[in-house]
Amino acid sequence: MLAACSSGTDDASSGPSGSNDDGSGYQPAPQGEDRPGSLPSAAVDCAAGSATLEGRFLAPNGTTPVAGAYVYVASADCWAGTDKDGFFSVTGLPMEETTVRAEKGLFRSEGKATPGMETLSLQVDPNSVRFAYVPGVFDTVEEVLGRLGFSPEEIDETSFTSEGLADYDAVFLNCGLNPAPAEDPAVVEVFKDYVEAGGVLYASDWAETYVKEAFPGAVKFAEDPRIGDSGTHEAKVLDEGLARALGKSTATITFDAPIWTVVESVPPTTRILVSGPVVTMDGDELDDRPYMVQFEAGKGRVTYTSFHNEAQTTEDVDTLLEQLLFQL
C-alpha cells in the first residue's frame, strides 16, 4: 500500500541539465556569500575568469544524486545549483584551487578542486546528522533513509520528552504510530519546543494529529480528515528542487487504499510542495488539495505528506520521498 493508513537512479555520465535543458547555455551566476532566494541553474557563468569546474553532489550511498542543491564556489563568490543527476558546471572561474560547498536542507559537503583539472565529487557524510524514527503500521520512512545510506535510530513514545529528542536533528513520525500521546499537552509542548529550537519534524498521513496539535493553524486538515479514496492522480510539483529532481513539474501519485488524510488548505506561511485532486470515499471530487507541505516554526521546520513509502509506490513517489529528505 502507498498512501492510505487503513488496512489496507542510475548513475548518469552526462553533464548538468536542470535550468539549461533548452540548450541556452550557461546562465549568469548569483553572486555573494548569502544563498540566493531561488535555485540557480546547474550551469552558470561566474564571470571571474576563463576556467570551468564540474562536479556532482551525492547521497551517502554514493549513487543517489542530490538534486536541486545549492553550490557555492569561493574563488568567484558565486552560486550554482545541481540538476536531476546531481551535476553542476561552473564556468568563468579563476584558474586556481578553490573551496566548493554543496548544501541542501540539513546537509552540507565541502571540498577543494582546481577548475579544468578534475571533476569534483561531493558526498553527504551519513554521520553529519542524527535521525530518529517512530515505527508505524503503514509507513516505513526508515527504509527510504536506509537506501540513501543513513542509519536512523528507532525510538518509541517513551522518548517523547525534551531529553529524549534533544540529540536528534530530525524526527520521523510514520503513519500508523500510536496517536494517543498527541492528546497529552506535555508531549505536544515537547514537539513544539523541539522544532522551535531548531529540530526538524516529518509526519506522514495518519500522523497528522501531532502536526495539528503542536502547530495549530499551520495546516488546515479536512474536518473529518481521513476521507481520501484510493486512486491514481497526476499531481503538480510546485517546489523547484523536487521538480528538478523529477525532470518535470508533474508526478504520478497512487493512493492504493482509502482513508488517507486530506489537507484542505494552508496559510501563506506554509509552502505547498506537491498538490493534486482528491476523490473522497463519498465520491466527492475536490480540485487541487495539498499533498505535501512544509513550514517553519521558530528555528526549525515541519514537513507533512499525505502520501508515503509503502509497497506500491510509483517511480515518481520514490524520487519525491528521497529528494524530500534532503530538503528537510
> Taking each helix axis from N to C terminus, what angle separates 315-325 and 141-148, rounded to the nearest 10 degrees?
70
What is the DSSP secondary structure assignment for residue 41, as one 8-state letter? P
Closest of 14, 15, 19 to residue 30, by C-alpha: 19
CATH 3.40.50.880 residue ranges of the chain are 129-325
* Residue type (1 letter), 257: A
Half-sphere exposure in the Cβ direction for 249 (13 Å, CA): 4
Q: Which CATH class is domain 129-325?
A: alpha beta
Reported as a single tens digit per residue, the pLDDT across 218-275 is 999 999 999 999 999 999 999 999 999 999 999 999 998 899 999 999 999 999 999 9
What pLDDT score was predicted for residue 18? 42
Region(s) of the chain under CATH 2.60.40.1120: 18-123
Task: Output the pLDDT for position 311.
Answer: 55
pLDDT at 15: 57
pTM: 0.90
Q: Report residues of the chain scoring pLDDT below 70.
A: 1-24, 311-312
pLDDT of residue 175: 95
The CATH code of domain 18-123 reads 2.60.40.1120
Give the pairing of strands 43-45 and 27-28.
Answer: parallel
* Confidence at residue 312, expressed as pLDDT on a 0 to 100 scale: 53
Write out the three cell numbers for 192. Answer: 513544539
* pLDDT value, residue 104: 96
